[in-house]
Amino acid sequence: MSLIVSDRFSLIIGLGKTGLACAQYLALQGERFQVADSRQYPPFLDQLTSEQPDTPIHLGEFAHDLCLSASQIILSPGVSMREPALVAAAKAGIPIRSDVDVFAQAARSAGVPIVAITGSNAKSTVTSLVGQMAKTAGLNVAIGGNLGEPSVSLLANDVDLYVMELSSFQLESTTALGATVACVLNVSPDHMDRYDNLMAYHQAKHRVFQACKAVVINGDDALTNPLVPDTVTQTRFSLGDPDVGQFGVRKEGGEEWLVKGLQPIISVAKMAMSGRHNVANALAALALGQAVGLPMAAMIDTLTSFTGLPHRCERVASIGGVDYINDSKGTNVGATVAALEGLGPDLAGKIILIAGGVGKGADFSDLVEPLSRYGKQTLLIGEDAKHIEQVLAGKVEFSHATGMQEAISMAHRQAVSGDLVLLSPACASFDAYIGFEARGDHFAELVRALV
């Protein structure tokens, strides 16, 4: 005779967008669950109580007893595993999983391939690019994760391929991803207000490689190189001359080409995206697409039409021979360095950079070298402007601005034909805006008012 334990339940921690999606998914599966959030009025409280009025919801400080009573904890990415109640649950052997784990288990059961993409920068661009390549190839593809819809919201019976952007926060509690192909695009310091050091952040990113079948490696960034068994297929991309079967860049007939080994794929001039960083993004997408069998013709066709995503080195206007570029998604130092190094080499003039905001504990010293090469002036705004000043002082030209409007006015006065005004803040936006999108929209609005 077996005893059925009926009082066990899954505990969803966090009632943001991800938590609500998990609640909706578990309800559809007929599973028992409860929800907890440290806030007294989380953003999706009303929707959950309307949709599922009988679901127990616990608000305020996470209770040890509640966490220890759960059969499993599904953790939203905004909640740190260092919460005392979660530490106690982990010590007691309670499984702590991410929504990505729940998603991946269902996707694998359905036999649908998963492309898993993470990195400090460019993961949204590469995820969207691979997704568009799959659409061009005629596949029914679902794209999401940290980009767009939460993972579990994408689960459907008619999907041919999942292309997932995953953040370090999501990966912290992901234990069984098992992607068809996984990639860490690059690693540079970010979220140092959450992680003790770069190694801890690096380790979180590399959880994307758990039980994967193939990996794509950035040959120009040693921190992307995973420790995986020899049985796992490995493909490299690089902005240099590649080895046989790998992806890279080579000059042919006086122009640069994306190549696979000795085989030319597409000239850089024919790509719709511009900048060296986007050449690397295209190479990563080609390698990832190859790993899941996307036709080369469809991938090439996509590269000729895909212009990139909003707020990611997006050209807003050209005024008097000066280009104004919105890279508001540059929320960490690595992203801003990539933008400077991607746009700087092809300029006739120099870059006027608008930077600053919430630095998240970042070290801004990596900005000095590219600003020395490509920068004309750096205009500092926001909460951590003084912090950035301490790093730049005596090394590159900088000035302070009271906010975005003054920064654009100053840039407009200083720029001459051939220069480029770049919003790439190397910081989060929450000191002045609700998100990087609002910051980029404000920049674009003020630039267009100059015309």
Written in H, E and C, the secondary structure of the chain is CCCCCCCCCEEEECCCHHHHHHHHHHHHHCCCEEEEECCCCCCCHHHHHHHCCCCCEEECCCCHHHHHHCCEEEECCCCCCCCHHHHHHHHCCCCEEEHHHHHHHHHHHCCCCEEEEECCCCHHHHHHHHHHHHHHCCCCEEEEECCCECHHHHCCCCCCEEEEECCHHHHHCCCCCCCCEEEECCCCCCCCCCCCCHHHHHHHHHHHHCCCCEEEEECCCHHHCCCCCCCCEEEEECCCCCCCCCEEEEEECCEEEEEECCEEEEEHHHCCCCCHHHHHHHHHHHHHHHHCCCCHHHHHHHHCCCCCCCCCCEEEEEECCEEEEECCCCCCHHHHHHHHHHHHHHCCCCEEEEECCECCCCCHHHHHHHHHHHEEEEEECCCCHHHHHHHHCCCCCEEECCCHHHHHHHHHHHCCCCCEEEECCCCECCCCCCCHHHHHHHHHHHHHCCC
- What fold characterizes domain 101-303? UDP-N-acetylmuramoyl-L-alanine:D-glutamate ligase (3.40.1190)
pLDDT tens digits, 328-382: 999 999 999 999 999 999 899 999 999 999 999 999 999 999 999 999 999 999 9
| Catalytic annotation present for 191 | yes
Give the residue range(s) of CATH 3.40.1190.10 domains in the chain. 101-303
Q: Where in the chain is the domain with CATH 3.40.50.720?
A: 10-94
pLDDT band at 156 (very low <50, low <70, confident <90, very high): confident
Q: What percent of the chain has pLDDT over 90?
A: 92
Out of 121, 186, 191, 350, the active site residue is 191
Domain with CATH 3.90.190.20 in the chain: 314-448
Record the tokens describing residue 418, joined without a space.
């051939």
Residue 321 — very low, low, confident or very high, per pLDDT cuts 50/70/90?
Answer: very high
Facing residues of 19 across strands?
none
- What are the tens digits of pLDDT across the range 23-70? 999 999 999 999 999 999 999 999 999 999 999 999 999 999 999 999
Share of the chain above pLDDT 70, in %: 98
Q: Which CATH superfamily is domain 10-94 in?
A: NAD(P)-binding Rossmann-like Domain (3.40.50.720)
Q: Which of 121, 123, 218, 326 is catalytic?
A: 123
Q: What angle do CA 8, 39, 83 make, to 5 degrees?
A: 65
Which CATH number fits the domain 314-448, given the four candidates 3.30.200.20, 1.10.10.10, 3.40.50.300, 3.90.190.20?
A: 3.90.190.20
Which candidate in 121, 146, 218, 332 is catalytic? 146
Beta strands 72-75; 375-380: pairing state: unpaired
Known catalytic membership, residue 123: yes
CB-CB neighbours of 155 under 10 Å: 18
Angle, helices 17-29/99-109, rounded to nearest 10 degrees: 40
User: Catalytic: 58?
Assistant: no
Looking at residue 5, its pLDDT comes to 42
**Mean pLDDT within 181-203:** 91
